């Protein structure tokens, strides 16, 4: 199967993955750690290299709490506008930055702006063994601060088994996102959903139990 961008993962149990882009942020990432600790869930944080450099301590707290850190590139470019070598360097630099925090290989990649083409998908899968991750709810556009009600209205209909939900904890005021996520976490927990990392979703789909999955589903 060709590498692809995963918006929803085919699983048979009530599990969803909350993901957060552009952090870490000392205020909002810390708030998310509290939200997920209270709910007994885990999330995936797609961090940017420049933010990670400024917030290494926060990134370490994310890892220590059992959440996943994914590659969102080092400088947040539109990867489709880069040469293959430039794109490779973006991923490589960020991989190394994350490994300094976690001591582990990175498993997942989300392209900035969700902008991707076959070159980038192949690069991520074949050279880095990444699963490339999209989102089930891009219309929520929480990065534009459209209002808590709007974020919820655009996200709730996309929720199903295996859905990957996109939000932001970096680059600006994310108070609306925090309020919306807090409400969604409460609703989904009450509805019996497990809140898991993206790699846990991928492992479920592959029938793996002891370790996270790598590469593309077959």
pLDDT at 92: 98
E strand or H helix at 203: helix 198-206
Profile the chain (218 residues) by mean pLDDT over runs of 10 residues: 90 96 96 97 97 95 98 98 98 97 96 97 97 98 96 98 97 95 98 97 78 34
Of 21, 131, 142, 169, the catalytic one is: 21
Interatomic CA distance for residues 50 and 139, integer angstroms: 26
Interatomic CA distance for residues 202 and 44, integer angstroms: 12
Active site residue 21: yes
What architecture (CATH level 2) is domain 5-206?
A: Alpha-Beta Barrel (3.20)
Q: What is the DSSP string of 49-72?
A: HHHHHHTHHHHHHHHHTT-EEEE-
Q: Considering the entire predicted model, what is its pTM?
A: 0.93
pLDDT at 208: 62
Look-up of token digits 């590498």: 3
Neighbour-count burial of 118, counting CB atoms closer than 10 A to its CB (0-12 exposed, 13-18 middle, 19+ buried): exposed
- Which residues are paired to 109 by β-bridges? 71, 132
Of 22, 131, 168, 169, the catalytic one is: 168
Delimit the domains of the chain by residue range.
5-206
């Amino acid at each position: 199967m060709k590498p692809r961008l995963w918006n929803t993962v085919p699983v048979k149990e009530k599990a969803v993955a909350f993901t957060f882009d552009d952090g870490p942020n000392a205020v909002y990432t810390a708030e998310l750690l509290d939200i997920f600790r209270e709910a007994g869930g885990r999330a995936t944080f797609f961090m940017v290299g420049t933010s990670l450099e400024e917030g290494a301590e926060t990134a370490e707290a994310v890892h220590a709490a059992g959440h996943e850190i994914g590659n969102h590139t080092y400088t947040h470019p539109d990867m489709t506008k880069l040469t293959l070598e430039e794109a490779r360097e973006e991923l490589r630099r960020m991989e190394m930055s994350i490994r300094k925090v976690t001591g582990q290989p990175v498993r997942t990649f989300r392209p900035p702006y969700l902008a991707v083409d076959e070159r980038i998908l192949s690069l991520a899968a074949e050279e880095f063994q990444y699963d490339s991750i999209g989102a089930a709810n891009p219309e929520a556009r929480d990065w534009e601060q459209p209002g808590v009600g709007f974020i919820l209205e655009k996200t709730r209909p996309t929720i199903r088994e295996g859905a990957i939900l996109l939000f932001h904890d970096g680059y600006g005021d994310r108070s609306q996102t925090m309020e919306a996520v807090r409400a969604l976490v409460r609703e989904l927990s009450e509805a019996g959903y497990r809140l898991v990392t993206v790699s846990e979703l991928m492992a479920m789909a592959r029938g793996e139990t002891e370790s996270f999955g790598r590469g593309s589903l077959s």
